[in-house]
Structure 1
Amino acid sequence: METGPLSTIRKNKIKDHLNKENSSYQNTRLSIQLSLNGLSFCITDKVSQELVEVQRLRFSTPRSENELRGALNDFLESHNVPSRTYESVVVTHSNALFNIVPQALFDLSKLSDYVKFNAQLLPHDELAYDTIAHKDMVVVYVPFTAVNNYIFDCFGPFDFKHHVALHLEELLSIEHEAPEKVCYAHIDQGTLNLTVIKDKKLQFFNSFQIGSTEDLLYYILFSLEQLTLDPKEVQMLFYGETTEAEPYYKKALQYLNNCGIYRPSFTQKIPTHLLDYHFDSIILNA
């Protein structure tokens, strides 16, 4: 996965992490998920492919990026995460400051042009991009640079990507038996990501902030109307913070005839005591 430069990260501040208490974590990967609505992390044993730990924190109200940095520090410290050394660290940024660009139109020197209509760019904003392998598209975005700097200070060099790239890589790889369009509704921490795919090609993607079942239905039905898709016919698959017992899903069943739950693919083994832990399993592919 190709990412943009991190010019503000102080590469001369690589610390000596060998003195940390790391005997049981030296073969693990730490994956951190960042959002203004909440935080989470998971630790995977890279040898056994077993999920070792999952933790998440929800915010009652969205935080600013500066507040997010402090919240992440407190969150990780409370679980002793910075006191260990990991074989690799990957960070996922989840925000609305992105755009999806066809590979044929992508120009590295024009990153700001791709997102300036979706976000109010500040002079100090860094820009990054993720290339969607074999799909001829690029996700250009504004990462949480201040948080990236903090993570670098804690763990040294790491990889990062945008959550949209993760979702598109997963969904565009699915083999569908029918040629009709399939709509995926991903729900996580008050955000609805709506994706429509046909024949492994992206037809539509958008993110919405939701606070109720009414919000969910409004954005889904409005998007389907704009795409001239019949709510009674389109295949709608939910994933993320969604089960058949969730209010969002139950409400959708009243208006959408062809609903189901999509379970992202992953190779990690999830121990029994973590099976019921409410987390978005697509982060395991970061």
Structure 2
Amino acid sequence: MNLLFDYYICNMSELTRLPGQQISFRDNAMDTTATEKFCLVAQCDRERFSLAVLDNLTNDFLAFESWNYRKAVTQLQLSEQLDRMFTDHPWLLNGFKRVDVIITTEKFTLVPSSLFDSSSAREVLSFNVPLQDNQIVRTDILRMADARMIYAIDPKLEKVLNRLAPSPRIRHHLTPLIEKALSQSKNKNNKSIAVHIRQGQFDLIAVENGKLLLANVFEYHSPEDFIYYILFAAEQLRLNPEEFELNISGEVEQDSALIKIAGKYVRNVILAKRESGHRFAKGFDQFPEHFHFNLFALHFFA
């Protein structure tokens, strides 16, 4: 299967155009022949695979790479594209100290920890979403939410991700977003909605005083769709647009129509910031702090 890429690679601030990736940069401290010293965090979407390399001894993010490929309709198609990409970039298979991977899937449900039973996880998930017989059901522990995330993954996709490490820490894409939102809300007497924007979809997490109110995924085709779902969720949760904070992250520019319409209807719109306790190599200055937000949160909140 052919991959469709736009590639930019830079050493610190210098950019060069090459066939392959969308964007890539590495700090001089990043040695691809000594990957066992570093941690890898990655996000696997249907249209893109992104990764960052972290030195967890110094809390420095040293490298970032992102590949765009032909949109995968199924996880099986995605696994085929990732398999080829890993083969074409063998340094990813050299072995890391730790590997965390987010997978994006709408086949999920949340269950309070008090009601969770591992023996019935598949039954609970199939009650909410259609499952194929061969799909693997996984669970994430959401400590701050006191809940379990139950979701499905194609076995071939899991096998391909296992090329990165014998036992990578695979997580649902909402897991770090939920834990991060609750962490920010802890010990605060406020209400907030966190929105993470993706291509054609966005994730919405509503919290109040450190408690999770809602976590869901919405499709949108226009800015009007986008704000409608946010305001509808706020109305159902009795959140006043004049009072709650709307924290936005994702690959969307500050002057985009989505950000503008959000500011028109919600008083307090805030663009997400990276973790203040961690340092980022100079190359990360190429994109705003709210870009790839859940990728950088993965190592610490999943």
TM-score (norm 2): 0.79
**2:64 alignment counterpart:** 54
Deviations along 1:235-264, one digit per CA (max 9) or x if unpaired, are 212122245333311121122222112224
**1:247 alignment counterpart:** 257
Counterpart AA for 1:99:
T
Residue 120 (1) aligns with residue 122 (2): no
Task: Describe how 1:86-235 pairs up with structure 2 within 5 A.
Answer: 86-175=96-185, 179-235=189-245
Coordinate RMSD, CA, aligned: 2.4
SS at match of 2:119: helix
Aligned residues: 266
Distance change in 2, residues 1:107/1:144 (3 Å):
same
Task: Measure the CA separation in 2 of the matches of 1:135 and 1:231.
Answer: 24
Could you tell me the percent identity over the aligned residues?
A: 22
1:274 to 271, 284, 290: 284
Task: Measure the CA separation in 1 of the matches of 2:227 and 2:91.
Answer: 38
**2:295 alignment counterpart:** 283
Q: Bigger relative contact order, structure 1 or 2, given CA contacts below 8 A and separation 6+?
A: 1
Deviation at 1:101, TM superposition (A): 0.4
**Maintained 8 Å contact 1:30/1:89:** yes
Deviation at 1:177, TM superposition (A): 7.0
Distance change in 2, residues 1:84/1:217 (3 Å):
same
Distance change in 2, residues 1:213/1:240 (3 Å):
same
Task: Measure the CA separation in 1 of the matches of 2:73 and 2:91.
Answer: 22
SS at match of 1:207: strand
User: Can you give the 5+ residue segments of structure 1 that lack an aligned partner in the other structure?
Assistant: 1-20
**Maintained 8 Å contact 2:40/2:54:** yes
**Maintained 8 Å contact 2:140/2:148:** yes
1:42 to 44, 52, 59: 52
Distance change in 2, residues 1:33/1:265 (3 Å):
same
**Maintained 8 Å contact 1:265/1:282:** no
Deviation at 1:171, TM superposition (A): 1.2
Residue 71 (1) aligns with residue 81 (2): yes
Deviations along 1:198-219, one digit per CA (max 9) or x if unpaired, are 1100111111123432221121
